[in-house]
Amino acid sequence: MIFLANRSNLDRRTLLTRLHNRLQTQVDSADTPIRNVWYHTSAENKVGVRAAIDPHRFLQSAALGDDAELYISFDFPPDHPYDFYKIQWVEPERDLMLGWHQDETHMDLGECHFQIDHRGETVQREAAAFLDTHPLNVFDQRLDHLVALLAAISWDEDRPHVPSDAIL
């Protein structure tokens, strides 16, 4: 048997499992906005973690739709000196997706960028702070930023926009 364990896949699976289990323990708690947690695409073929969120509880605001999801994925490419991740907030009702991408795309914006997609189209993309910390801390910090960003969204002719100074 040829045994070729890909370390970055093991890093990813290990981390997704931890994150999934941590969020899962909060699902039944009355004081968190997490409604449900699952693996994308499945527990066997795990490439990301997704969580259904009560947006009103998450943001303490009634300005959002009734349903939202978090999409979280990590990657640890051996040919890059830092960890990749995508942490995104998705609202199906408004066809809105926003979040941070630390990946190989849009390197002109630096190691990390913030992006808003609306109705299948990218409507804003800007450089964001590079967080060179452990993925669990990246997740925590981005979720903190997310609260402020969602509160800062303005709609101009039905297009969402966040002021640049609100993007960390």
**Considering the rule CB under 8 A, would residue 49 count as an interface residue with another protein?**
no
Question: How buried is 49 (Cβ within 10 angstroms: 0-12 exposed, 13-18 middle, 19+ buried)?
Answer: buried
From 42, 62, 154, 165, residue interacting with another protein (rule: CB under 8 A): 42
From 20, 34, 112, 113, residue interacting with another protein (rule: CB under 8 A): 34
Q: Of how many residues is the chain composed?
A: 168
From 38, 39, 75, 166, residue interacting with another protein (rule: CB under 8 A): 75
Q: Which is nearer to another protein, 18 or 159 (CB)?
A: 18
Q: Which residues pair with 94 in a beta bridge?
A: none
**C-alpha dist (Å) from residue 146 to 21, 138, 150:** 21, 12, 6
From 63, 92, 95, 147, residue interacting with another protein (rule: CB under 8 A): 147
The interface mask with another protein, positions 91-130, x = CB under 8 A, is -------------xx-------------------------
**Considering the rule CB under 8 A, would residue 152 count as an interface residue with another protein?**
no
**Considering the rule CB under 8 A, would residue 136 count as an interface residue with another protein?**
yes
**Considering the rule CB under 8 A, would residue 17 count as an interface residue with another protein?**
yes
Q: Which is nearer to another protein, 81 or 157 (CB)?
A: 81
**Considering the rule CB under 8 A, would residue 139 count as an interface residue with another protein?**
yes
* CB of 57 closer than 8 Å to CB of 33: yes
Lookup: tokens for 73: 């994925």
Interaction site with another protein (CB under 8 A): 1, 4-15, 17-18, 22-23, 26, 31-34, 42-47, 57-61, 75-76, 83, 104-105, 133-137, 139-140, 143-144, 146-147
